[in-house]
């Protein structure tokens, strides 16, 4: 792209005249699309999920960070519409890719959704368009996979399109840090590509950070989540060790965090869920092995965190045995099945693993979660239990796995025989019927 065309592109951004497409309208893509539309840009959403498209046509949001009211406003204004066809990209100036990047097996990345999206883009791309990948992936994906796929159709980078990587950093349900307040990292195949992406994102995000390459930007996201899983794995292991030593790990953490430097508190729990922390570090682990490097920290942390649902069941069995009860003959109630408090999100949720483990062992297990009225797990249909004195009296142990704010925990304590609190939500309450992780 010639300097005058670059200036023209930036000028169109400043006048909100560029058209933006967001491929993948999930937890990352839909909030991003609505954010651009609310700022006055025309946004085209592309998703192959027919159920999502039907919900969008009905103005019903399925994402916690996007209200149905905001969704209705941008649709009714004509600034946002969703389709399931890549052919409508022919008039789009900037394409943002926000598709899933799961694991094929525990240590093997699956970037098939990225490849499929890029092929659809390559067949319909507008000359001079900007393409930005937001999906978390291993270092080198943008340059080694996406660039060749786009150029395979005869397009040339720097002439027919520009390519960047900008890792998504959305934290579902985080009111303190909504999309606009989370700094955006951008790494381009070239500086010109990065400068174009800078202009686009600066229109909706307060701080945009440029790095030297797409590989650096890809690694930034992986470092962020590797940092988290390593520290979560460490504190989970510390919790297991402290229990053996009859030490209250929660008290240890509270005291340790009084140090004003050199310490950052992390907290143990029943496992790690969501779309990032349990998966992203393994992308880096897999890629590093191609360079002959084995990351022991990542694998160990991942293994420790993955073990936590099983550990919760072990602790549950021990607690019941100490009170003369057999886990096999007990009825268990799980409180909270989402992976995170106060959001309706079941992706990789540890409570689901705990329920699955109990079900496979033939144990009678139920759940209560005001955000998830129905649940189907391993072919078994479950309905959320109402929390009342009669229902609570039926269970031998209540396990708090997600600390939703809307739960009446004092009522829970009053009506339950035994409570296993894996989230320390009952902090400071002295009661013999309460045990903590």
Q: Are 428 and 334 members of one domain? A: yes
CA pair distance 6, 134, nearest whole angstrom? 22
User: pLDDT digit string (tens) for 146-178?
Assistant: 999 999 978 899 989 999 999 999 988 888 999
> Are 164 and 237 found together in one domain?
no
Do 79 and 49 reside in the same domain of the chain? yes
- The answer on 197 and 53 residing in a single domain is yes
Separation between Cα atoms, residue 273 and residue 47, nearest integer Å: 24
Q: Is residue 219 part of a domain?
A: no
Task: Write down the mean pLDDT value for the chain.
Answer: 94
Within a domain: residue 48? yes
Residue 222 included in any domain: no
| pLDDT tens digits, one per residue of 220-279 | 999 999 999 999 999 999 999 999 999 999 999 999 999 999 999 999 999 999 888 989
Q: How confident is the model at residue 139 (pLDDT cuts 50, 70, 90)?
A: very high
Pair 361, 279 in one domain: yes
Question: Which residue segment(s) compose the domain that 182 sits in?
Answer: 3-212
| Three-state secondary-structure class, residue 283 | helix
CB-based contacts of 273, cutoff 8 Å, min separation 6: 338, 339, 340, 345, 347, 348, 349, 350
Tally of structural domains, the chain: 2
Alpha-carbon distance values, 127 to 14, 67, 146, 401, 416 (Å): 20, 35, 17, 51, 65
pTM: 0.92
3 band by pLDDT with thresholds 50, 70 and 90: low
Contact (CB, 8 A) for 65 and 139: no
Give the residue-averaged pLDDT of 37-44: 96
- Whether 278 sits among the annotated catalytic residues: the reply is no
Give the per-residue pLDDT at 294.
93
Query: Of 146, 179, 212, which residue sits at a domain end?
Result: 212
DSSP per-residue string spanning 365-433: EEEE-TT-SEEEETTEEEEPPP--HHHHTT-SEEEE-S--TTS-HHHHHHH-S-EEESS-TTTT---TT
What's the average model confidence in pLDDT over 5-23? 91
**Same domain flag for 158 and 256:** no
196 belongs to a structural domain: yes
Lowest-confidence range among 170-174, 207-211, 417-421? 170-174
Q: Is position 238 within any domain?
A: yes
Do residues 183 and 68 both lie within one domain? yes
Tell whether 336 is covered by a domain. yes
Task: Say yes or no: 201 and 265 in one domain.
Answer: no
Domain stop point among 158, 180, 212: 212
Which domain CATH number covers 120? 3.40.50.720
153 and 13 fall within a common domain: yes
pLDDT, average across residues 196-213: 97
Instruction: Looking at the structure, tell me whether residues 308 and 404 fall in a common domain.
Output: yes
The answer on 150 and 43 residing in a single domain is yes
280-293 confidence digits (pLDDT tens)? 999 999 999 999 99
Question: Per-residue b/e over 360-386, b at no fewer than 16 CB within 10 Å?
Answer: eeebebbbbbebbeebebeeeebebbe
Residue 63 and residue 166 in one domain: yes
Which among 98, 164, 276, 397 is annotated as catalytic? 276
Note the pLDDT of residue 414.
93
Query: Is pLDDT at 55 greater than 80 in this prediction?
Result: yes
Confirm whether 428 is domain-assigned: yes
Domain annotation covers residue 72: yes
């Amino acid at each position: 792209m010639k300097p005058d065309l670059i200036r023209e592109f930036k000028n169109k951004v400043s006048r909100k005249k560029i058209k933006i497409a967001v491929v993948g309208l999930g937890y990352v893509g839909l909030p991003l699309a609505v954010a651009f539309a609310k700022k006055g840009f025309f946004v085209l959403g592309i998703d192959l999920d027919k159920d999502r498209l039907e919900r969008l046509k009905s103005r019903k949001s399925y994402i916690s960070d996007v209200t149905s009211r905001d969704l209705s406003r941008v649709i009714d204004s004509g600034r946002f519409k969703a389709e399931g066809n890549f052919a409508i990209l022919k008039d789009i100036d900037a394409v943002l890719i926000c598709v899933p990047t799961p694991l094929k097996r525990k240590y093997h990345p699956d970037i098939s959704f990225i490849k499929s999206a890029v092929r659809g883009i390559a067949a319909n791309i507008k000359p001079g368009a900007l393409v930005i990948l937001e999906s978390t992936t291993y270092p080198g994906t943008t340059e080694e996979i996406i660039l060749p796929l786009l150029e395979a159709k005869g397009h040339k980078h720097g002439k027919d399109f520009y390519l960047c990587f900008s890792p998504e950093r959305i934290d579902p349900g985080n009111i303190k840090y909504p999309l606009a307040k989370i700094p955006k990292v951008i790494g381009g195949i070239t500086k010109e590509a990065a400068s174009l992406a800078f202009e686009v994102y600066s229109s909706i995000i307060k701080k945009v950070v440029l790095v030297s390459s797409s590989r650096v930007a890809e690694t930034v996201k992986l470092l962020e989540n590797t940092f988290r899983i390593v520290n979560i794995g460490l504190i989970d292991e510390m919790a297991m060790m402290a229990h053996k030593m009859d030490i209250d790990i929660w008290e240890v953490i509270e005291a340790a965090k009084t140090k004003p430097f050199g310490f950052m508190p992390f907290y143990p729990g029943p496992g790690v869920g969501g779309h990032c922390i349990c998966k992203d570090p393994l992308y880096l682990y897999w890629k590093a092995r191609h360079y002959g490097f084995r990351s022991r920290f990542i694998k160990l942390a991942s293994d420790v965190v993955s073990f936590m649902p099983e550990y919760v069941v072990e602790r549950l069995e021990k607690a019941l045995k100490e009170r003369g009860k057999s886990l096999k003959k007990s009825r268990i109630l799980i409180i909270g099945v989402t992976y995170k408090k106060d959001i309706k999100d079941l992706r990789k949720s540890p409570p689901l693993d705990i329920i699955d483990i109990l079900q496979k062992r033939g144990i009678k297990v139920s759940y209560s979660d005001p955000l998830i009225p129905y649940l189907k797990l391993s072919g078994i249909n479950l309905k959320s239990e109402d929390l009342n004195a009669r229902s609570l009296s039926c269970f031998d142990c209540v396990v708090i796995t997600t600390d939703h704010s809307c739960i009446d925990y004092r009522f829970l304590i009053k009506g339950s025989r035994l409570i296993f609190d894996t989230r320390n939500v009952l902090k400071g309450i002295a009661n013999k019927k309460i045990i903590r992780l």
